[in-house]
Amino acid sequence: MLSTDQPLETINHLREFVNETICYHEQLEIGAFQMTERILTRGHQPCGIYFCIHGPRQVKFTAIWETDSNTILFYGASGARVLKTQLSEAPALQECVA
């Protein structure tokens, strides 16, 4: 498992980083597959974002941005964690919810 330090200042930078990282790791063409996202909540308060790339043959690759620790956890098609990224800067979650 790798850990890197990345500054991501806007939600669009965060989306691009997640998309590019999953595509690079899974050897997919960037932008060729749909990516969806969902706000995660804990106690009715937003606490992160779940990202999912819908790859070939209905395979799904996911990542979770966890705001408490400001990390992104990446998961392969089997559900095993393949990468962990520590963010030095991240957008406010309220920007993502609005």
pLDDT in tens, 72-90: 999 999 999 999 988 888 7
97 part of a folded domain? no
- Residue identified by tokens 């965060």 is 14
pLDDT for 64 equals 97
pLDDT for 1 equals 47
Evaluate whether 93 touches 46 at the Cβ level (below 8 Å): yes
98 part of a folded domain? no
CA distances from 19 to 43, 44, 45, 52 (A): 28, 27, 25, 9
96 part of a folded domain? no
For residue 80 the two structure tokens come to 């095993």
In 55-96, the DSSP E strands lie at: 60-66, 71-75, 81-89
Q: How many domains does the chain have?
A: 1
Structural domain for 68, as ranges: 5-91
37-63, pLDDT tens digit by residue? 999 999 989 999 999 999 888 999 999
Distance CA 34, CA 85 (A): 22
**pTM for the structure as a whole:** 0.87
Distance CA 71, CA 24 (A): 18
pLDDT band at 24 (very low <50, low <70, confident <90, very high): very high
> Does 96 have pLDDT greater than 90?
no
